[in-house]
C-alpha cells in the first residue's frame, strides 16, 4: 500500500455507507483527536479549500452580508490564493463583500518591505481581486512600541464588532505555532506582541538573507481570537510538516505545541496532503488501527518496524512479538513468522552492494543493479554544486574507481549561498594576480570598489549586482571542479548547466521553463547514460532539489518518446544532508569503509565556501560533512540492528520508475 494512492475522508464526516464501514473508519482514526481530511496532493487540497472560501463568500453575498475572513501567510496558503484569483478572473467571484483580518506581521516591519506580510498579501491576492482596500486589515509593523498594546485591543474590537470571523485559515510552524503563537502561548490569548522562537526565525532566514536579519518579534492574533471563528481550517503540505502534524492531531494538549489547543474546538478541520499526513498512525503504522492488505512493501515496512519495536534482529522475532505488537493479522495470514522473517531479511540483505554500477560477470538476480554492461555511462545530477559529494560522495568515488564512465552535472550555480566577504577576497586575489604578471588591473579595481560600496548599503535579501553574482557563481564552480577532480572525474565529464530558473539573484526562484528542460535533454542525449543519479528530496516542495528532480524526470520522459537508449536507463534517487530514506524504502545501500568515509569527507572539504559557516545552514548547526557522516553512520547502524553485517557507513538509494 502506497500512501500516495490513498484518499481519506474526514473521520467525523457523515458516512452513508453501512454501519460496519462507519465503525471501521472510526477505528482507523481513533488516535486522531480532531477532524482530518487528506488529499492526494497539495494542489487538490488547495483547490478544495479555495472552493469552500468561495462558497462562503457567495452565500454571504446572496444574503446581503459580508464575509469576514481570517487569512494566513507563508508558503502554505499560496496555492489557495492562486485558486481564488483564478475563480475571480474566470468565474466572476467578487470580493466586494469580503472583509479580511490577517493573523500576524513581523515587528518591526515596513509595509513595503519585501518580507512584509502586506507585500505578501498584495502579491498573492489583493492586487488581483476587487476587494475594497478599506476592508483589508493587517497588523501594523511600523507602530511605536508604546502604541502596540492599544492597536492589539482595537484589532480585537474590530473583529468583534463585525460579529467575529466566519472562517479562519491557518498554517502550522514546525514549533507547532499557529499564527505566531509560539510554544508557551495560552489557549485564551488575544492579539499581542510576541517573541519569535529561534526555530521559527531559522525557518524564515532564507527570506531575510540570514537569521540575523529576521525580526525577533511579531504581532499576532491569539489562540483565543482564532478559537472564536465559526470555522477553522488548518492546512499543511509536505513531509517536513509531518512530525508536528502528528503531535498536533494525536498528541496530548500542551502549551509546548500550541496547535494542540485546537483539539478543544468543535469547528476545526485539518486539511493535509498525503506527505503531511504520513506520520499519522493510520498511514505510518496502519496495522495498529485496522486490518491491512499485506502487499510486499507494507509487509517489509511492518517487519522492519517490529524489529525496532521489539529491539531484536529480524531473524530473532517470534510469533509472540507479532502478537504483542499488534501484528497478529500478519502472522496469521502470512506465517509461519520465521519463514516471513527469513524472506524480509533476504530482501534487506540484497539491497547491500559494493558495486553500485553492477558487478561484471556476476549473477545480478539478487543485486540492486545490472551486471551488464560492465562499464556503464553514469551521470550524477547535483542540484547545488556540492550535493554530489555531500549526498553520495562515497558512491560517486566508487563508480569512478570501478571503471565506469562517470559524468557529473551541476544544475545550478549556487550563487546565492556565498558570503559577500568571500567575493571581496577572490576579487582581491584577481587584482594581485593581474598586477603580478604586469597587466593593468584598473578595471577590476573599479569593479571592486563598486562592490564594496554596494555591500556597505546592501539590504537584507537584496539582489546582488551582476558582477557579485558572477563571482559567487565562479567560486562555487571552482569548488565543484575541485571536488569532482578529487573523485577522479575527467574535466570533459564535468558539466555546468546554470539552469535559468535559478538565476534570479533571489532566494525565490522562477518557475521551470522550456529552456531548463532543453538544456537537460541535450546533456542526457550527449551522454546517453545507463544510470542517472538525482536528488530525491521531497520534504520541501519549494526547494531547489525537487525542482531539479522534476526537470530531470520530465527530460527523460520526453526523450523516451524518440530515443531507445532511455528504456535501458535506470534512475536512482539520493537524499541530501538533512534526511535519509526510511530503511524499508531503501533499494540500494552502498557500504563505505573508514577509508572511504575519509575520502568522501575530503571531497566535501573542497567546497570551502560552504564549510564552517554556510549562508543557509537550515536548522541543523552541524557542518555539512558532519551531517553526512552522521547520517551515513546511522544508516549502517540501522542495518546492523536488523541483523546485517556491521559497516562503518552506508549511502542509500531508491530507484525511481519513470
Phi–psi pair at 278, nearest 5 degrees: -65, -20
Reduced to 3 states (helix: H, G, I; strand: E, B; else coil), residue 651 is strand
d(CA 272, CA 9): 11
For 152, other C-beta atoms within 10 Å of its C-beta total 21
* 3 state SS for 394-457: HHHHHHHHCCCEEEEEECCCCCCCCCHHHHHHHHHHHHHHHHHCCCCCHHHHHHHHHHHHHHHH
d(CA 506, CA 528): 33
d(CA 317, CA 311): 9
Contact 465, 427 (CB under 8 A): no
Task: Out of 28, 105, 156, 182, pick the active-site residue.
Answer: 182
Nearest Cα to Cα of residue 399 among 375, 365, 383: 375
In Å, the largest CA–CA distance within the chain is 90
630 contacts: CB under 8 Å, gap ≥ 6:
622
Contact 637, 592 (CB under 8 A): no
State yes or no: is 372 an active-site residue.
no
- The count of residues in the chain is 658
Contact 655, 574 (CB under 8 A): no
Phi-psi region of 578 (alpha: psi -120 to 50; beta: other; left: phi over 0): alpha
d(CA 519, CA 334): 49
Report the side by side order of strands in the sheet with 104-107. Answer: 104-107, 217-220, 192-195
d(CA 379, CA 235): 38
User: Cα–chain-centroid distance for residue 62?
Assistant: 41
Radius of gyration of the chain (CA): 27
d(CA 393, CA 395): 6
Residue 200 host element (H or E): helix 198-203
Q: Which long-range contacts (CB under 8 A, 24 or more apart) does 369-373 make?
A: 369/531, 369/570, 369/588, 370/530, 370/570, 373/530
| 282: its cell numbers | 493510520
Contact 543, 416 (CB under 8 A): no
Contact 217, 211 (CB under 8 A): no
Residue reference for cell 489557495: 80
Q: Which residues are catalytic, by number?
A: 182
Amino acid at each position: 500500500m502506497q500512501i500516495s494512492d490513498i484518499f481519506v475522508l474526514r473521520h467525523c464526516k457523515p458516512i452513508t455507507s453501512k454501519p460496519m464501514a462507519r465503525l471501521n473508519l472510526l477505528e482507523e482514526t481513533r488516535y486522531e483527536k480532531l477532524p482530518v481530511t487528506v488529499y492526494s496532493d497539495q494542489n487538490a487540497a488547495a483547490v478544495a479549500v479555495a472552493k469552500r472560501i468561495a462558497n462562503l463568500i457567495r452565500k454571504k453575498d446572496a444574503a446581503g452580508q459580508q464575509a469576514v475572513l481570517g487569512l494566513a501567510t507563508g508558503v502554505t496558503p499560496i496555492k489557495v490564493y492562486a485558486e481564488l484569483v483564478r475563480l475571480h478572473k474566470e468565474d466572476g467571484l467578487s470580493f466586494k463583500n469580503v472583509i479580511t483580518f490577517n493573523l500576524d506581521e513581523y515587528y518591526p516591519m515596513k509595509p513595503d518591505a519585501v518580507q512584509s506580510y502586506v507585500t505578501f498579501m498584495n502579491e498573492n491576492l489583493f492586487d488581483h481581486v476587487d476587494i475594497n482596500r478599506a476592508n483589508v486589515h493587517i497588523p501594523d509593523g511600523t507602530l511605536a512600541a508604546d502604541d502596540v498594546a492599544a492597536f492589539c485591543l482595537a484589532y480585537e474590537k474590530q473583529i468583534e464588532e463585525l460579529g467575529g470571523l466566519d472562517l479562519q485559515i491557518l498554517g502550522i510552524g514546525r514549533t507547532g505555532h499557529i499564527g505566531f503563537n509560539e510554544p508557551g502561548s495560552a489557549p485564551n490569548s488575544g492579539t499581542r506582541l510576541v517573541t519569535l522562537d529561534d526555530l521559527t526565525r531559522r525557518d524564515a532566514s532564507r527570506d531575510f538573507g540570514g537569521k540575523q536579519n529576521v525580526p525577533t518579534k511579531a504581532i499576532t492574533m491569539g489562540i483565543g481570537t482564532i478559537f472564536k471563528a465559526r470555522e477553522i481550517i488548518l492546512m499543511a503540505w509536505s513531509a517536513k510538516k509531518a512530525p508536528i502534524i502528528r503531535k498536533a492531531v494525536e498528541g496530548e494538549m500542551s502549551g509546548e505545541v500550541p496547535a494542540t489547543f485546537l483539539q478543544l474546538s468543535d469547528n476545526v478541520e485539518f486539511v493535509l496532503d498525503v506527505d503531511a499526513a504520513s506520520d499519522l498512525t493510520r498511514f505510518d503504522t496502519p496495522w495498529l488501527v485496522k486490518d491491512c492488505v499485506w502487499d510486499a512493501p507494507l509487509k517489509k515496512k511492518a517487519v522492519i518496524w517490529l524489529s525496532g519495536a521489539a529491539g531484536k534482529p529480524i531473524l530473532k522475532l517470534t510469533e509472540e512479538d507479532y502478537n504483542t505488537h499488534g501484528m497478529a493479522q500478519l502472522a496469521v495470514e502470512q506465517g509461519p513468522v520465521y519463514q516471513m522473517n527469513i524472506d524480509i531479511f533476504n530482501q534487506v540483505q540484497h539491497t547491500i552492494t559494493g558495486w553500485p554500477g553492477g558487478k561484471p560477470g556476476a549473477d545480478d538476480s539478487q543485486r540492486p543493479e545490472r551486471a551488464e554492461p560492465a562499464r556503464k555511462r553514469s551521470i550524477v545530477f547535483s542540484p547545488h554544486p556540492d550535493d554530489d559529494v555531500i549526498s553520495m560522495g562515497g558512491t560517486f568515488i566508487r563508480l569512478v574507481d570501478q571503471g565506469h564512465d562517470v559524468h557529473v552535472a551541476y544544475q545550478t550555480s549556487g550563487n546565492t549561498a556565498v558570503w559577500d566577504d568571500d567575493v571581496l577576497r577572490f576579487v582581491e586575489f584577481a587584482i594581485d594576480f593581474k598586477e603580478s604578471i604586469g597587466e593593468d588591473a584598473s578595471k577590476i579595481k573599479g569593479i571592486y570598489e563598486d562592490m564594496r560600496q554596494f555591500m556597505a548599503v546592501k539590504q537584507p535579501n537584496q539582489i546582488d549586482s551582476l558582477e557579485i553574482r558572477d563571482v559567487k557563481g565562479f567560486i562555487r564552480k571552482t569548488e565543484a571542479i575541485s571536488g569532482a577532480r578529487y573523485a577522479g572525474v575527467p574535466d570533459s565529464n564535468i558539466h555546468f548547466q546554470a539552469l535559468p530558473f535559478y538565476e534570479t539573484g533571489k532566494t525565490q526562484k522562477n518557475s521551470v521553463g522550456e529552456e531548463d528542460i532543453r538544456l537537460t535533454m541535450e546533456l542526457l542525449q550527449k551522454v546517453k547514460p545507463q544510470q542517472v543519479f538525482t536528488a530525491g528530496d521531497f520534504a520541501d516542495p519549494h526547494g531547489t532539489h525537487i525542482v531539479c528532480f522534476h526537470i530531470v524526470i520530465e527530460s527523460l520522459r520526453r526523450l523516451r518518446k524518440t530515443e531507445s537508449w532511455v528504456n535501458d536507463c535506470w534512475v536512482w534517487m539520493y537524499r541530501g544532508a538533512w534526511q535519509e530514506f526510511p530503511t524499508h524504502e531503501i533499494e540500494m545501500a552502498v557500504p563505505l569503509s573508514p577509508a572511504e568515509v575519509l575520502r568522501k569527507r575530503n571531497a566535501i572539504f573542497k567546497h570551502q565556501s560552504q564549510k564552517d559557516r554556510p549562508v543557509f545552514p537550515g536548522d541543523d548547526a552541524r557542518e555539512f560533512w558532519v551531517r553526512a557522516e552522521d547520517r551515513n553512520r546511522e544508516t549502517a547502524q540501522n542495518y546492523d540492528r536488523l541483523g546485517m553485517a556491521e559497516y562503518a557507513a552506508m549511502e542509500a538509494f531508491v530507484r525511481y520508475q519513470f
